[in-house]
């Protein structure tokens, strides 16, 4: 009953809030070579639009790469030297819009919004002038210069598939043994509970790992999605995520006694959040605050950040250690919970 | 029945779940080669007691030795010496007859040579040689049940625990099933069986009847009938069950 009436409401709310294509508080940095009244006026206009937040002022073009790699800042605005002077005298001045395009949809929107603001400003200052001034925006997409959406889908699909194969299959297969009564026999046998669990989990560990290899391989050879960072690190992180998903599967199986319950739990507790709240398709930073908070407990959210960083930005562990630690913590927590549940059942 | 050798010895077993006492001061012995019937209405605490004896669950208090081993400290050793068959059918439906035997025997650490020889012998005895490589799912329920029992005693345990083994089986198959139990008992395997069927209770060497977590009667079927002046076990059981303050 709860599922029948609760699910539609939850889904409606989720979809309604999650699927918004508006920008909100995009973190922006500025590299202003000119520092005149025009550039500061433009920056003011952009910030007061509400779509962008100025978080940093850079002094050197070499800092741009570093800034993007950290992952917080999504846009950098670069004003050329003597921007203001050129705008008046030469009537043409250029500004560069650099975006982190590891999320292509967002990058596109950011560029459109910025161009819109620049255009409006341009119209404003041209009012009553005979020779119109022109601000020429030039855009450059970092990490995904052709704005291919496959760059976004490969990490997302990887997270979804690994979650599905590992968590869902494990939970269903353990629940199945419980349902059929074979689990009882195994528990009475000299096998230790740990051996039973390992036996159930190992096949899915191998399967999922092969899946991860295949996804990265197809992404690379068919769609040209690069692996800029260390391949070994990528696979280690994937393995960590698989372990996490497996322990989640074990946990689900300890709370469900039939295959059906395990299936329902996996579908609603794993599938939907993985797709909606992980930042796979819908950017997290556009969501309402409560959903953003909920998204923190969704493992794929962190995993997607990690693989995007490694594959598209080529960063090493030094930029993803925080996310990695979160995944490790979640895995340990889930294993602990499952062991506790298991013991309670024995007593 | 050899009354010298105790295979199961239970003294003052208590099992409490919060305020509810599932097993209230149970004390009994089971001897080697005996068929011991463990009777009681649903919810009387049979399964709870059985789980404790199998090492699946810890008692709240009491001294319990199974196969000469302590259920608190020697669980792992204990599990090697017992067989178990539950009321749910418990072989893997999508494995073949032989694969099931090999899997379960393997868990108990038997060598593959040993397994093969013994499996052939067993299939011959059960008349299932032709079904050796058939999937379990294709077999009729009666055969599955007999096979499940044979698998439970395949590693030659000291005791086999049967939890309502003949539920949903027709009378003829039940009779055949009991022939297997007698045979196991003759081979020196102690049989600890719970059942609902009172005619089956008559087949046991000794039976205990549980009411509300306590053992209300424990003796041979003959003596119980005289004691309660009843003509069959059904009557004995009803007399005792009426004492229950937990009426259904």
Q: Which of A142, A168, A202 is the last residue of a domain?
A: A142
Q: Give the tokens for residue B3.
A: 């009354």
What is the average pLDDT value for chain B, to the nearest integer? Answer: 87
pLDDT tens digits along A98-140: 998 888 888 888 898 999 998 888 888 887 777 777 888 888 8
pLDDT number for residue B236: 84
Higher pLDDT, B33 or B244: B33
Confidence of residue B140 (pLDDT cuts 50, 70, 90): confident
Question: Which positions in chain A touch B54 (Cβ < 8 Å)?
Answer: 188
ipTM of the complex: 0.80
Comparing CA positions, the residue from B197, B136, B153 lying closest to residue B33 is B153
Please tell me which of the candidates A182, A185, A347 has its beta carbon nearest to residue B58.
A347
Tell me what the mean pLDDT of segment A250-266 comes to.
Answer: 84
Burial B230-239 (b: 16+ CB within 10 A, else e): eeebeebbeb
Q: How far is CA A154 from CA A19, A161, A304, B31, in A?
A: 20, 10, 10, 65
Same domain, A167 and A305: yes
Asked if residue A323 lies in contact with residue A306, where contact means CB atoms within 8 angstroms, the answer is yes
Same domain, A107 and A229: no
Same domain, A311 and A176: yes
pLDDT number for residue B190: 94
Please tell me which of the candidates B57, B58, B89 has its beta carbon nearest to residue A181.
B89
Which of A182, A191, A198 has the highest number of chain B CBs within 10 A, making it the mutation to test binding with B? A182
Tell me what the mean pLDDT of segment B29-56 comes to.
Answer: 88
- Judged by a CB distance cut-off of 8 A, whether residue A325 touches chain B is no
Q: Which of A91, A108, A142 is the last residue of a domain?
A: A142
pLDDT number for residue B116: 92
Q: Give the tokens for residue A80.
A: 């050329």
Question: Which positions in chain B touch A189 (Cβ < 8 Å)?
Answer: 79, 104, 107-108
Whether the model clears a pTM of 0.80, i.e. scores above it, the answer is no
Which of A190, A343, A344 has the highest number of chain B CBs within 10 A, making it the mutation to test binding with B? A190
What is the average pLDDT value for chain A, to the nearest integer? Answer: 84
Q: CATH code at A35?
A: 3.40.1710.10
Question: Which positions in chain B touch A188 (Cβ < 8 Å)?
Answer: 54-56, 79, 82, 84, 161
Distance CA B164, CA B38 (A): 10
Please tell me which of the candidates A182, A191, A347 has its beta carbon nearest to residue B92.
A182
Asked if residue A107 lies in contact with residue A141, where contact means CB atoms within 8 angstroms, the answer is yes
Does the pLDDT of residue B247 top 50, yes or no?
A: no
Confidence of residue A209 (pLDDT cuts 50, 70, 90): very high
Q: Which of residues 181-210 of A touch B (CB under 8 A)?
A: 181-182, 184-192
Same domain, A132 and A192: no
Confidence of residue B99 (pLDDT cuts 50, 70, 90): very high
Tell me what the mean pLDDT of segment A77-84 comes to.
Answer: 88
A218 located within any domain? yes
Chain B CA closest to residue A345: B57
Asked if residue B243 lies in contact with residue B211, where contact means CB atoms within 8 angstroms, the answer is yes
Q: Which of A142, A173, A208 is the last residue of a domain?
A: A142
Please tell me which of the candidates A180, A190, A192 has its beta carbon nearest to residue B108.
A190
Distance CA A196, CA A143 (A): 45
Confidence of residue A330 (pLDDT cuts 50, 70, 90): very high
Same domain, A241 and A339: yes
Q: Say if the Cβ atoms of B86 and A347 lie within 8 Å.
A: no
Tell me what the mean pLDDT of segment B186-209 comes to.
Answer: 89
Same domain, A102 and A179: no
Cβ count near A335 (within 10 Å): 18
A5 located within any domain? no
Does the pLDDT of residue A347 top 60, yes or no?
A: no
Tell me what the mean pLDDT of segment B14-27 comes to.
Answer: 88
Same domain, A124 and A156: no
Complete domains list, chain B, with CATH: 2-81+157-241 (3.40.50.300), 91-156 (no CATH)
Does the pLDDT of residue A21 top 70, yes or no?
A: no
- Provide CB contacts within 8 A for A145, sequence distance 6+: A101
- Judged by a CB distance cut-off of 8 A, whether residue B57 touches chain A is yes
Does the pLDDT of residue A346 top 70, yes or no?
A: no
Does the pLDDT of residue A284 top 90, yes or no?
A: no
pLDDT tens digits along A27-76: 899 999 888 888 898 999 999 988 888 888 888 888 888 888 887 888 99
Give the gap in angstroms from C-alpha A253 to the nearest C-alpha of chain B: 18
Distance CA A92, CA A133 (A): 6
Same domain, A207 and A338: yes
Same domain, A157 and A134: no
Q: How many domains does chain A have?
A: 2
For chain B, what is the radius of gyration of the CA atoms?
A: 18
A4 located within any domain? no
Q: State the count of interchain CB pairs (< 8 A) between A and B.
A: 49
Give the gap in angstroms from C-alpha A332 to the nearest C-alpha of chain B: 26
Q: Is A318 helix (H, G, I), strand (E, B) or coil?
A: helix
Asked if residue A141 lies in contact with residue A99, where contact means CB atoms within 8 angstroms, the answer is yes
For chain A, what is the radius of gyration of the CA atoms?
A: 25
A11 located within any domain? no
- Judged by a CB distance cut-off of 8 A, whether residue A344 touches chain B is no
Left, alpha or beta for B168 (phi > 0: left; psi -120 to 50: alpha)? left
Same domain, A127 and A190: no
Q: Say if the Cβ atoms of B86 and A185 lie within 8 Å.
A: yes
Same domain, A129 and A159: no
Which of B107, B152, B153 has the highest number of chain A CBs within 10 A, making it the mutation to test binding with A? B107
Q: Say if the Cβ atoms of A184 and B88 lie within 8 Å.
A: yes
Question: Which positions in chain A touch B90 (Cβ < 8 Å)?
Answer: 180-182, 184-185
Q: How far is CA A70 from CA A216, A234, A316, in A?
A: 23, 17, 11
Distance CA A309, CA A332 (A): 24
A14 located within any domain? no
Same domain, A221 and A323: yes
- Judged by a CB distance cut-off of 8 A, whether residue A346 touches chain B is yes
A8 located within any domain? no
A12 located within any domain? no
Q: Say if the Cβ atoms of B54 and A188 lie within 8 Å.
A: yes
Domain housing A182: 150-346
Distance CA B82, CA A189 (A): 8
């Amino acid at each position: 009953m709860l599922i029948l009436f609760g699910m539609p409401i939850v889904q409606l709310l989720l979809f309604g809030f999650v699927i918004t294509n508006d920008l909100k508080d995009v973190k922006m940095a500025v590299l202003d070579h000119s520092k005149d009244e025009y550039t500061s006026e433009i920056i003011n206009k952009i910030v007061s639009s509400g779509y962008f937040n100025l978080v940093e002022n850079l002094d050197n073009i070499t800092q741009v790469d570093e800034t993007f790699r950290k992952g917080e800042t999504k846009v950098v605005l670069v004003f050329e030297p003597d921007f203001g002077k050129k705008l008046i005298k030469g009537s043409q001045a250029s500004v560069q819009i650099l975006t982190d395009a590891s999320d292509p949809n967002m990058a596109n929107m950011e560029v459109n919004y910025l161009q819109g603001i620049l255009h409006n400003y341009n119209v404003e200052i041209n009012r009553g002038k005979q020779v119109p001034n022109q601000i020429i925006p030039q855009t450059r997409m970092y990490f995904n210069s052709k704005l291919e959406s496959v760059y976004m889908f490969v990490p997302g699909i990887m997270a979804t598939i690994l979650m599905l194969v590992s968590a869902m299959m494990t939970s269903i297969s353990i629940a199945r043994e419980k349902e059929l009564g074979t689990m009882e026999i195994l528990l009475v046998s000299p096998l230790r509970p740990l051996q039973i669990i390992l036996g159930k989990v190992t096949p899915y560990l191998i399967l999922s790992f092969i899946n991860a290899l295949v996804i990265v391989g197809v992404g690379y050879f068919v769609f040209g999605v690069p692996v800029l960072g260390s391949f070994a690190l990528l696979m280690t992180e994937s393995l960590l995520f698989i372990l996490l998903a497996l322990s989640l599967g074990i946990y689900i199986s300890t709370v469900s006694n039939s295959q059906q319950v395990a299936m329902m739990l996996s579908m609603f507790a794993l599938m939907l959040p993985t797709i909606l709240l992980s930042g796979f398709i819908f950017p997290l930073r556009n969501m309402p605050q409560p959903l953003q908070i909920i998204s923190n407990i969704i493992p794929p959210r962190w995993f997607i950040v990690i693989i995007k960083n490694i594959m598209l930005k080529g960063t090493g562990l030094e930029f993803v250690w925080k996310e990695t630690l979160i995944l490790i913590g979640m895995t340990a927590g889930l294993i602990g919970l499952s062991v506790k549940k298991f013991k309670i059942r024995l007593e | 029945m050899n009354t010298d050798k105790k295979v199961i010895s239970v003294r003052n077993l208590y099992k409490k779940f919060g305020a509810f006492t599932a097993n209230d001061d149970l004390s009994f012995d089971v001897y080697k080669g005996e068929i011991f019937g463990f009777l009681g209405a649903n919810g009387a605490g049979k399964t709870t007691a059985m789980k404790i004896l199998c090492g699946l669950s810890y008692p709240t208090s009491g001294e319990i030795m199974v196969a000469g081993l302590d259920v608190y400290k020697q669980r792992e050793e204990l599990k090697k010496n017992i067989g178990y068959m539950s009321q749910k059918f418990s072989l893997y439906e999508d494995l073949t007859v032989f694969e099931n035997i090999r899997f379960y025997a393997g868990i108990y650490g038997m060598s593959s040579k040993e397994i093969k020889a013994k499996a052939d012998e067993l299939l011959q005895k059960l008349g299932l040689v032709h079904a050796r490589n058939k999937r379990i799912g294709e077999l009729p329920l009666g055969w599955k049940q007999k096979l499940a029992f044979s698998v439970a005693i395949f590693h030659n345990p000291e005791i086999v625990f049967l939890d309502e083994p003949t539920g949903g089986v027709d009378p003829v198959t039940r009779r055949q099933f009991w022939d297997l139990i007698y045979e196991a008992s003759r081979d020196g395997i102690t049989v600890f069986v719970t059942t609902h069927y009172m005619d089956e209770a008559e087949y046991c060497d000794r039976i205990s009847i549980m009411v509300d977590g306590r053992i209300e009667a424990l003796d041979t079927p003959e003596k119980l009938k005289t004691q309660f002046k009843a003509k069959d076990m059904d009557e004995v059981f009803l007399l005792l069950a009426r004492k229950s303050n937990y009426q259904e």
